[in-house]
Amino acid sequence: MAKLTKLDDIVSLCKRRGFIFQSSEIYGGLASCYDYGPLGVELKNNVKKAWWKSVVQMRDDVVGLDCSILMHPMVWKSSGHADKFADLIAECKKCNTRTRVDHLKDKEDNNIENASGQDLTNKVCPSCGTIGQFTEPMPFKLMFETQMGANIDDSMTIHLRPETAQGIFANFRNVLDSTRVKVPFGIAQIGKSFRNEVTTKAFIFRTREFEQAELEFFCEPGTDDQWYEHWKEARCKWYTDLGMKKENLRFRDHDPDELAHYAKGCVDVEYKFPFGSGDWQELEGIANRTDYDLRQHQRGMRTLNKWYENDRDLSKISLIDESEDYNKGPLSYFDEQKKERYIPYVIEPSAGMDRSTLAFLVDAYDEEEVRGETRNLLRFHPALAPTKVAIFPLVKKDGMPEIARKIYDNLKKYFNCFYDQKGAVGRRYRRQDEAGTPFCVTVDGQTNEDNTVTVRNRDSMEQTRINADNVLSYMREKLDM
C-alpha cells in the first residue's frame, strides 16, 4: 500500500484539497505560520470537539475554561517563563554553532571555580571543542512581546501566553469558588499559544503560533501517581478510539535529566510521522507537575507589591520566599471530609491540536487499486470527517436533483453535508473519498418508484438501498451523532 512517505506529499495533499495553506502565501509566505482551509478548519474543529467531548463533556470531574491570551506579567514571573524564556545564547566564532550559555561547560582541566557565569573565556564549544571563542551572549526572547495600551507613554509590555496552563492555575480559585467542584477535579482549556522557537520544524509540526488542548487535573497529594496512570491510559485511548492506528502510537517516558525541575514524571504520546527520518514525534505530553505551579503563584501573589515598587520591571525582582504555612495559602484546597488544607497535585495532559490534526490526516490517508486505477481516500473516523454525508442525484434530470436537494436541505440541519449534481457519479464518489466523507446518498430512477435511495460507504464502496425517509435516522446511527 503506497502511502504518504514524505512531508512534501503531505504538504501537497493539504494544499490541493484545501486543508492547510501557507500563511500570507501571496506575499511569499510568513515563516512558520499556516492557515487552515475549508476542509482543514472542519477537521481541526472536529479534533477539538472530540477532545472536549472526551475530556469535559463525558466526565463529571472536569470543567472547561477559556482564558485570555494576554495575562498579567507576574503570571510569567511566577511560572518561571519570564526568567527561563530569556536565555542567553552565544555563538562559537569558529563553527557558528549557537549554544545556550548555561549549557556551556568549563574546560575540564581548569580547577578554578568560575564564579561568573558570564565569563566565557574558559567555556568549551560543544560542537567543535574550541575554547573561549564566543560572541557576546545575546538574549533570546522565547516569549512574544506586545504592547498593551494605545498611548505609547502609558503602554505596558506584556507577553502572549506561551502555554494555556497558567491561565488555568490563575483561575483555580475562581473555579473552586463558583462551581462546587471537589478535588479530584480538572479544568480544561483549548486555545492558542505562542513561542519564539529557536527553530521551527516540519510544516505545522512545530510552529510559533499553535493551539493547545490542556487539562490540569487537581488531586490529593499521594493519589497523583494513580491519576497519572489514569490519564496516560485515557489519553492514549482517545487517539485510538478516533481511529489512529495503534502501531503508529507509543509512549515515551522522559529520562530523569530531561524532566523539568518541578515534574515528578512525564511521558510523551508519540506518533510515527512520515517525516524524512521516519521519527517518532510528540503529540502530547502528560506530566505530573506536583504542587509546583499553585505554590509558585502563591509566592507571586505575595510579590506583587515588589513589582510595583520596582517600576513594574520583572527583571529587577525575584519571587518572595514561600511562607511556612503555604499549605494554608490562598490557592490551597480545604478537604471537607479530612478537615485539612493542602495544595493539590496536578496531572497535566497537554495535547497539540495542530499536531494531532496533522497526525489524524496522515494516519487516515490511504491509496488502493480499484480496477487498475488508484483510489485516494482519507479514512477519517466519522467524528473527524469534515463532511459527513454527500448527496447526489444520479443524473441531472427526471426530477432527481429536486429530490436530492430536499434530502440535502433536511440533513444539513444536523451535520455537515455536501450537495453535488455535476458530472459522472463515479467521479463525485471519488472526490468525496479524497475529502474523507464517510457516506454518499444517491437519488436514482428507482427513487421515484419506491422512495428508496442508495447509500454508498466510503471504505468498502458498497451500496445499500434504504428508504429516503430514513436517511436521517440511518446516518445518525452510522455516524453515532
Q: What minimum distance in Å lies between the beta carbon of 368 and RNA?
A: 10
Rg (CA), the chain: 27
Are 213 and 334 a contacting pair, CB within 8 Å? no
Orientation angle between helical segments 400-411 and 471-479, nearest 10 degrees: 50
CB of 278 to RNA, least distance (A): 8
**Min separation Cβ 406 and RNA, Å:** 16
**Where do we find the cell 509566505?**
29
Smaller CB distance to RNA: residue 127 or 323? 127
Cell numbers standing for residue 364: 487516515
Smallest gap from residue 351 Cβ to RNA (A) = 13
Give me the torsion for CA of 336, 340, 342, 347, rounded to 10°.
-50
Contacts of 288 (CB under 8 A, 6+ apart): 224, 225, 228, 263, 264, 265, 266, 345, 346, 347, 348
Q: Judged by CB, which is closer to RNA: 37, or 64?
A: 37
User: Rounded to the nearest 10 degrees, how much is the dihedral formed by the CA atoms of 461, 463, 469, 470?
Assistant: -70
Least distance in angstroms from the C-beta of 87 to RNA: 7
CB of 322 to RNA, least distance (A): 19
Question: Are the C-beta atoms of 143 and 154 separated by less than 8 Å?
Answer: no
Cell, residue 326: 503555604
Q: Which is nearer to RNA, 49 or 94 (CB)?
A: 94
Q: Which is nearer to RNA, 219 or 440 (CB)?
A: 440
DSSP 427-474: HHHHHHHHHT-SEEEEE-HHHHHH-EEEEEETTT--EEEEEGGGHHHH
| Min separation Cβ 411 and RNA, Å | 17
240 vs 48: CA distance, rounded Å: 15
Residue 107 three-state SS: coil
74 vs 266, which CB is nearer to RNA? Answer: 266
Alpha helices, H only, 37-189? 38-52, 73-79, 81-84, 165-170, 172-179
Query: Half-sphere exposure (CA, 13 Å, Cβ side) for 235?
Result: 28
Which is nearer to RNA, 100 or 312 (by Cβ)? 100
Residue 32 vs 46, nearer CB to RNA: 32
In angstroms, give the least distance from the CB of 95 to RNA: 7
Number of helices (H) and strands (E) in the chain: give both, helices first.
Answer: 13, 25
User: Taking the complex as a whole, how short is the minimal distance between the CB of residue 426 and RNA, in angstroms?
Assistant: 3
Report the residue number, 159 or 333, with the smaller CB distance to RNA: 159
Residue number, 162 or 186, with CB nearest to RNA: 162
